[in-house]
Structure 1
Amino acid sequence: MNDNVVIKENSFLNINKASANGVMARIFLAFLTTAGIFYVNIMPAIIDGLKDGAGFTDQQAGFVGSANLYGAAFGALLAVFIIKKINWQRWSYALLVAILAIDFVCIYINSPTMMIAIRALHGITGGLLVGIGFGIISRTSEADKTFGYLLLIQWSLGGLGIMFLPGLVPEYGTAAMFISLMVFTVVTLMMLPFLGDYPIKNDEHKSTNTAKIKRLPLMLTLFAIFMFQGANMGLFAYVIGLAKAEGLMIDFISTSLGLASWIALFGAFLVIVIGTKYGRTVPIIAAIVLTAISTWLLHFSESANVYLIANIIIGITWAFILPYLFGICSELDKAGQMAALGGFASKMGLASGPMVAALFLGNDNYGLLIDMAAIGLVICAIAAFYPARLLDTAK
């Protein structure tokens, strides 16, 4: 029977469920995992919208974003401890409704302090949902492909948000941003009933409590995820300022970054197509090295072509590498705890990268920032080599 069709019937809801490892199930799981942290993919639009629509300062809007991300990291960490003990579907329904309510409340908040507090709560709620989603994805076959769908959806819909939301905020205020997040949540709620149970098998229960999960490969993988996200986001947060310092015009900068975001979909699509056909070691290491080289080429951003091409390559490899790194976590523990822990490492990297970069940026010292990002990526490649090679050898 075709693995992509809907075949399983739910006796309670009297609806058909998507095949556990089919394309539709992978897409639904990707939506579920994205719903908790979709704001990250439209973060530039949200920051700009808070400034234009609510009158926040740069610092206040930035604190809102940081509160969301650090809250998400805490929520993802919490998922590590509960993923094996909960009814993940009931929790997902409850968390999606909570996210919907929080985004609705945010429409009417004008105080920066209150917004920071509420978005931190949103981050914890969404991060917990993301951690649960990661854990369930790890129970699918070829989890790397499912993570590929996750990145595909995040980059494509994030690109749409960044493209259209800034133009809506002047007319509709911050409501435009939060309503867009609510729409995404409602769509995800409509998909959730079609997902199967994804129970933990007996041997997967045992694997979490035995030496089958090797600590060194796990720690190296989590460190690689943290370094990869931190290095990329630390530079990405200032990539517009870098281009302006090199004399590039804002229209070209915006077009370049938008184009890079859309072309980056190819990276996630490539993971879906090839999966682990060529193992994990060669794709991961080659792509990280290519990312580091492209990052270093940003030293020559006075050339518009170099800036454009470097950002396109970084976008493609970013969307290509992450599914493989998350896939390693999934292979180390099919029960889902380690994948949830990978989500925590990812959120900490995303939140910490810009903060560390700000400490070293100083008086527009973008050259040092580029070097730090490139070195961080090299360290990431070194850390990822052993766990990737270990899984390839076992396979």
Structure 2
Amino acid sequence: MHSTDDPRVIEAVVHDVQRLPALVAMLPVAMMGAAVLTLLPLWVGTLSEGLGFTQQQVGFLASADMVGIFITSTSAVLWVRHWPWRWVVLLGLTLFLIGNVGSMYSRDFAHLYGLRVVAGLGCGAAYAVALAALGDTRNPDWSFGLMVTAQVAFGFIGFEVLPGLIEAQGLNAFFLYLNAWLILALLLSAVLFPRAGAPVRDGVALRFRDIGGLAGAAFFGTVILYIAISAVWGYMERMGVGAELASSRVSEIIGWGYLISILGSIAAPAVSQKVGRTAAMLLALVVMLCTFAGLGMMEQGNALWTYIASTVVFQFFWSFVLPPLMATFNAVDESGRFIVLCSPAFKIGEIIGPPMAAFWIVDSQYQPVLWLGGVCAVIGIGLLVLVDQRARVAT
């Protein structure tokens, strides 16, 4: 494995990563890394309407991209500091695009599942590089906050334009929307993305035996939190429809909630610096639990306003918790490689969450999904708080 202590090499690469144009290219790549999760309610809703898939098949298709992303992003810990970043990103995004094009011509469960896994393989490689690059910027807290803001903007536009397009063109509209943004990300990456990351410095390696306890807690805390988020998020559109709200109104509410949640990702770094990451994550936990309770108490007389309040506030604090979560993950080691395992942690949670939620749904009753979300959120954020406290003591 190549390593170096040559300050000229390190300085040149770090300067390349920290340029503003490089950040402009990193953000759309990181945005596309979470694209399917961002639009998961629309993806689940579209798969559930008139395509002949069972509830369990919908759950597995909802997590298929995450399987591919998990495979490549997990392996990234071995190669992310050694392979040329720009070429990995370009190849990964191209494979993602090809998987989307193929998915437009498939309505068979097994075939479509395979294509989504292939798309996820490309997505995961590009996403892992983007996370490593963002972690190398001067202020990772703010960079990750900008990443979440970009993902939120992508989601807002999607929730505003996709329902009408899906109604007119069906499932293909979903993939056309993804590919339009992928083409933009490819063009920016070809010109502006850093050619390579900083090499591993001599004596600074990722050794799990040295960081094992903190690394395991950070990883599994993130997994469990994302089981909670993806389970509730994946069926949020179905919860609104189940409360007899019009599907178009539900998509509009989710879309505006996504726009408002930009404020969460913007506020999080400042709040974390003011009161600490632990307090910021605990605040997010308490409020998320209140939103789950609200979704579980919807009745016909108050369904609309309860749904609006619960979904909007949930999305705000989902965006809010991500920057301190990722900064906590990044603080576990100094080699700059452990951060790429943040993506696999997200994806394991996203692989498990929707199928697990689907298993508990009976007669369109979603309360068990909300209980699942609440329990997992408490455990996940509890572990992350423990990591933050121990990491601060260690430093």
For residue 35 of structure 1, give the secondary structure of its aligned residue in structure 2: helix
Query: How many angstroms apart in 2 are the aligned matches of 1:40 and 1:200?
Result: 30
| Amino acid in structure 2 at the alignment position of 1:76 | S
Q: Is 1:75 aligned to 2:78, yes or no?
A: no
For residues 189-232 of structure 1, the C-alpha deviation after alignment (integer angstroms, 9 at most, x for no partner) is: 22223233463355486142486x52212211112211211112
Specify whether residues 274 and 371 from structure 1 end up closer, same or farther in structure 2 by C-alpha distance, changes over 3 A only.
closer
* 245 and 202 in structure 1: CA distance in 2 versus 1, 3 angstrom threshold: closer
**In the TM superposition, what is the alpha-carbon distance from 1:316 to its structure 2 partner?**
0.8
- Give the corresponding residue for 1:361: 361
Matched residues, percent identical? Answer: 19
- Give the Cα separation in 1 of the matches to 2:202 and 2:145: 23
The alignment partner of 2:204 has SS state of helix
Which amino acid counterpart does residue 144 of structure 2 have in structure 1?
F
Is residue 17 of structure 2 the alignment partner of residue 20 of structure 1? yes
What CA distance in whole angstroms lies between the structure 2 residues aligned with 1:229 and 1:366?
A: 18
Structure 1 counterpart of 2:314, one-letter code: I
Relative distance call for 1:293 and 1:49 in structure 2 (3 A) is closer
Corresponding residue of 2:90: 93
Residue 344 of structure 1 corresponds to 344
CA deviations on 1:267-312 (whole Å, 9 max, x unpaired) are 1122355564543111112222221232223332223333321222
Partner amino acid for 2:318? W
Which of 112, 115, 133 is 1:136 aligned to?
133
Residue among 144, 157, 170 paired with 2:154: 157
CA contact (8 A) 1:234 1:373 kept: yes
CA deviation profile, 1:332-387 (whole Å, cap 9, x unmatched): 23444311211111111112112222223334443333223222212123211221
Who is 1:333 aligned against?
A: 333
Taking the aligned partners of 2:135 and 2:16, their CA distance within structure 1 comes to 15
Q: 1:186 to 1:49 in 2, by over 3 A?
A: same
Select the residue among 267, 278, 282 that pairs with 2:279. 282
SS of 1:118's equivalent in the other structure is helix
CA, structure 1 residues 191+104, in 2 after alignment: closer, same or farther (shift >3 Å)? same
Q: Which residue of 2 aligns with 1:41?
A: 38
Distance change in 2, residues 1:56/1:153 (3 Å): farther
Separation (CA, whole Å) in 2 of partners of 1:235 and 1:121: 25
Distance 1:307 1:237 in 2: 15
- Match of 2:17, SS state, is coil
Structure 2: runs of 5+ lacking an equivalent: 1-13
SS at match of 1:68: helix
Q: How many residues of Structure 1 are paired with residues of Structure 2 in the alignment? A: 377
Cα shift readout 1:150-175 (whole Å, capped 9, x = no counterpart): 21111211221122123223444544
Separation in structure 2 between the aligned mates of residue 115 and residue 319 of structure 1, nearest angstrom = 30
> In 1, distance between residues paired with 2:250 and 2:76?
38
Alignment match of 1:196 (pick from 190, 194, 197): 194
Closer/same/farther in 2, CA of residues 62 and 282 from structure 1, 3 Å limit: closer
Distance 1:363 1:64, change over 3 A: closer
State whether residues 80 and 340 of structure 1, in contact with CA within 8 Å, keep that contact through their aligned partners in structure 2: yes
Q: Which residue of 1 aligns with 2:11?
A: none
| 1:214 paired to 2:211 | yes
- Superposed displacement of residue 186, structure 1: 1.7
Q: Is the 8 A contact 2:281 2:324 kept in 1?
A: yes
State whether structure 2 residue 264 is matched by structure 1 residue 267. yes
Contact in 1 for aligned 2:100/2:179 (Cα 8 Å): yes
Between the aligned partners of 1:246 and 1:175, the Cα distance in structure 2 is 28
User: Which residue number in structure 2 is paired with residue 253 of structure 1?
Assistant: 250
In structure 2, what is the Cα distance between the partners aligned to 1:25 and 1:324?
Answer: 23
Q: 1:6-62: per-residue Cα shift (whole Å, max 9, x none)? A: xxxxxxxxxxx986335553342121222344233223434455677x945355555
Which residue number corresponds to residue 123 of structure 1?
A: 120
Contact 2:81 2:199 in 1 (8 A): no
Given that 1:281 and 1:392 are in contact with CA atoms closer than 8 Å, whether structure 2 keeps it comes out as: no
Question: AA paired with 1:120?
Answer: V
SS in 1 for 2:197: coil
**1:159 & 1:205 partners in 2: Cα distance?**
44
Shift in alpha-carbon separation, 1:318–1:357, aligned structure 2, 3 A: same
Contact residue 44 and residue 234 of structure 2 kept, 8 A: no
Matched, 1:57 2:42: no
